[in-house]
Structures are given as structure tokens and as C-alpha cells.
């Protein structure tokens, strides 16, 4: 670790539904906000070169290919060696950047980072982690989709990695860690959950027991640990439920003149509530356990979300999250 806090993040200029427009805008804002930030902007020469030449602390890294959202992640990463995701991860592997950020295909980023950057020694499986959009307090959940099939011992590592992220990045001191299960009692759940419970009890400092589905968004625990299948379904269920309720609420507020008046009076407060459960605050989902920083933003990211993602990537580098994970989990 150096005392110089200059950080270089490789950014996928082609990641996300509104790339490259919002990515360039977001990178510009991030460079403005963080004067010790350097960006390697990865993408087609005609996109990245004009931007780099007009922005200080930004270097263009041409990449001729792009991995689309609907491509098979692992196959695309293997085939498209000159794609922005593969080239961005390579910059981290070669030490030219300390972190990689993309709002592109989550699967391709996972495959790109796992193959391209590589795992921290001793980490069995990297895990995707997210801060749950809760109106009460931030809740960290992992794995949210990197590993559809898990062994109980993976979850012990997921828990320890997520605890570091919760503490260093989300700012939760001594996080209370729970296993997502279908009952509170120690003996509840599937065979997998029961075995994991026993391992976590032994091997995870801060482990407090089982959480149920209705314990997540009310922030009863700080870190929710589960396999990538359950985690992905759960996270998307939360997002879908919030979205459906806000949309039903909007309908209610335009259903009559009286309701419209009421809605108008509440508009600002409701906007604030909606923002408070906006997942973009933390800039994206980190892939914990790779030998460097890799953060994946929402495909629907706007410029602010991209800026947050780039800044969050830099923060993860500065806080040395990967190093701390290596100490805690690695061998």
C-alpha cells in the first residue's frame, strides 16, 4: 500500500442500456469530483479517444468489440478477447488499473473478472454483493447471482467477505450477519441451509442466526448471506415489489381530482422515499473475492449512477477491500 491515494479505474465505456452517452457523462463527473482519480476508458477508439483527449486524468484504451446484454456470458468472454469487458479486466490483471467498473452484462463481468483478473488465493468462489434498497437502513446481501450452485463452505467465505464490505464501504460497524432461511430456529430449513448454519456458527464472527424473507428490507440484520440462486430471486423480488407498489401508488394518485391534489402535496416526500430505496446509491454490485476491484452497475444506470459506480470503485481500492479479504479469507 502506498500513501499516495491516486487510484486508476478502468471503465467500460460500452456498459449499460444508455452507453456510451451516460457513461461518458458519469466519468466526467467522477473525474471532477475526485481529483486523485484516473480513468482508463475502454471502448471503441472513436468513442474513447475524443473523450480522453478532452479530459485530464483520462486515458483511452481502444477495444474493438462489445459484449451485448443477451450474449452467453462465459462464451462471449472467451470469444471476444478484444471486448471492452475483457480488455478492462486485463488492465487490472496487468496492474495498469486497480479496479474495473462496468454497467454492462453482469454475467460477462463476472466471467471476465474471474477469468481475467483471477481469484484471491484461498477464495473458493467470488460472490456478487449488493446493498439492498431499504427505507430503514442499508442491508448488504450476498451472493446475489454469481453462483447458482453453492456448497455450504462457500457461504462461510461469502459472509466473511461481505462483512468487510459492510464495514469498510457501507460503514456498518460490527455487522450482524444472518443466513437467509425459512424459519428462525437453528434447526430450520433445507439440508443445505442446516449444514451452512452449522459452518457459519463456527466460522463467521458476527453470525447471529437465521433470517427470513420478511427480515431483509426492514434491516433487522446488516448482512444477509445466501446462495446465488436464492439471492438473485430475492433481490429481484424486492425490486419488482417496490416497482409494482410505486406504480400502483402512481395510479392511485391520478384516479380522481381529490387524489391528484393529495398526490401533489406528497410529491416531494414520495420522491425522497423512492430515492432512499434506490439501489444506485452504492454505485453497483461488487464482485468480492477477485484479486482487485470489480464493480457492476445496473444496466439502466444514468449518469449519476455511473459516477457513483466509478467513485465507489475508487473507494474500494483506497480502503483495500481486496487486501482485507485476502487477509480474512485467503490462505
Q: Contact at 8 Å (CB) between 127 and 149?
A: no
Considering only residues 6, 29, 124, 134, which one is a binding residue for a second copy as defined by CB under 8 A? 134
Query: 22 in helix, strand or coil?
Result: helix
Q: Which is nearer to a second copy, 114 or 147 (CB)?
A: 147
Instruction: State in angstroms the smallest separation of the CB of 121 from a second copy.
Output: 27
Instruction: State in angstroms the smallest separation of the CB of 195 from a second copy.
Output: 12
Phi-psi region of 149 (alpha: psi -120 to 50; beta: other; left: phi over 0): beta
Considering only residues 65, 153, 239, 320, which one is a binding residue for a second copy as defined by CB under 8 A? 239
Considering only residues 240, 275, 300, 327, which one is a binding residue for a second copy as defined by CB under 8 A? 240
- HSE at residue 151, side-chain half, CA atoms within 13 A, is 6
Told to check if 212 binds a second copy by CB under 8 A, we report yes
Q: Contact at 8 Å (CB) between 319 and 5?
A: no
Told to check if 205 binds a second copy by CB under 8 A, we report no
Q: Contact at 8 Å (CB) between 296 and 284?
A: yes
Residue span binding a second copy (CB under 8 A) among the ranges 88-96, 189-197, 296-304, 310-318: 189-197
Told to check if 45 binds a second copy by CB under 8 A, we report no
Q: Contact at 8 Å (CB) between 99 and 293?
A: yes
Told to check if 68 binds a second copy by CB under 8 A, we report no
H/E segment holding residue 38: strand 37-43
Binding mask 270-299 toward a second copy (x if CB under 8 A, else -) reads x-xx--xx----------------------
- The number of beta carbons lying within 10 Å of the beta carbon of residue 16 is 26
Told to check if 243 binds a second copy by CB under 8 A, we report yes
Angle at the Cα of 296 (from 158 to 106), degrees rounded to 5? 85
Q: Which is nearer to a second copy, 64 or 300 (CB)?
A: 300
Instruction: State in angstroms the smallest separation of the CB of 273 from a second copy.
Output: 5
Told to check if 230 binds a second copy by CB under 8 A, we report yes
Q: Contact at 8 Å (CB) between 314 and 7?
A: yes
Alpha-carbon span 307 to 301, nearest angstrom: 10
Binding residues for a second copy, rule: CB under 8 A, are 134-136, 145, 148-149, 180-182, 189-193, 212-218, 226, 228-230, 232-246, 248-249, 252-253, 255-256, 258-259, 261-266, 269-270, 272-273, 276-277
Amino acid at each position: 500500500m502506498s500513501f499516495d491515494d491516486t487510484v486508476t479505474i478502468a471503465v467500460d465505456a460500452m456498459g449499460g442500456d444508455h452507453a456510451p452517452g451516460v457513461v461518458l457523462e458519469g466519468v466526467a463527473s467522477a473525474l471532477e469530483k475526485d481529483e486523485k482519480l484516473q480513468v482508463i476508458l475502454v471502448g471503441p477508439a472513436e468513442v474513447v479517444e475524443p473523450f480522453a483527449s478532452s479530459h485530464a486524468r483520462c486515458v483511452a484504451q481502444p477495444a474493438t468489440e462489445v459484449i451485448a446484454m443477451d450474449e452467453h456470458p462465459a462464451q462471449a468472454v472467451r470469444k471476444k478477447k478484444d471486448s471492452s469487458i475483457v480488455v478492462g479486466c486485463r488492465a487490472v490483471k496487468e496492474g495498469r488499473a486497480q479496479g474495473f467498473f462496468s454497467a454492462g452484462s453482469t454475467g460477462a463481468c463476472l466471467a471476465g473478472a474471474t477469468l481475467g483478473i483471477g481469484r484471491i488465493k484461498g477464495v473458493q468462489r467470488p460472490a456478487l454483493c449488493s446493498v439492498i434498497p431499504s427505507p430503514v437502513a442499508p442491508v448488504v446481501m450476498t451472493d446475489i447471482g454469481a453462483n447458482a450452485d453453492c456448497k455450504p463452505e462457500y457461504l462461510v467465505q461469502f459472509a466473511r467477505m461481505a462483512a468487510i464490505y459492510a464495514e469498510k464501504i457501507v460503514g456498518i460497524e460490527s455487522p450482524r450477519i444472518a443466513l437467509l432461511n425459512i424459519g428462525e430456529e437453528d434447526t430450520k430449513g433445507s439440508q443445505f441451509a442446516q449444514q451452512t448454519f452449522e459452518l457459519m456458527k463456527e466460522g463467521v464472527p458476527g453470525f447471529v442466526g437465521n433470517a427470513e424473507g420478511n427480515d431483509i428490507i426492514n434491516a433487522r440484520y446488516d448482512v444477509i448471506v445466501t446462495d446465488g440462486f436464492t439471492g438473485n430471486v430475492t433481490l429481484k423480488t424486492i425490486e419488482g415489489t417496490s416497482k409494482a407498489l410505486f406504480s400502483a401508488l402512481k395510479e392511485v394518485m391520478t384516479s380522481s381530482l381529490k387524489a391528484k391534489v393529495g398526490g401533489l402535496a406528497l410529491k416531494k416526500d414520495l420522491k425522497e422515499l423512492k430515492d432512499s430505496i434506490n439501489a444506485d446509491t452504492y454505485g453497483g454490485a461488487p464482485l468480492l473475492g477477485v484479486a482487485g476491484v470489480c464493480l457492476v452497475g445496473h444496466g439502466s444506470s444514468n449518469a449519476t449512477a455511473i459516477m457513483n459506480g466509478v467513485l465507489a470503485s475508487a473507494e474500494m481500492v483506497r480502503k483495500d477491500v481486496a487486501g482485507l479479504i485476502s487477509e480474512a479469507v485467503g490462505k
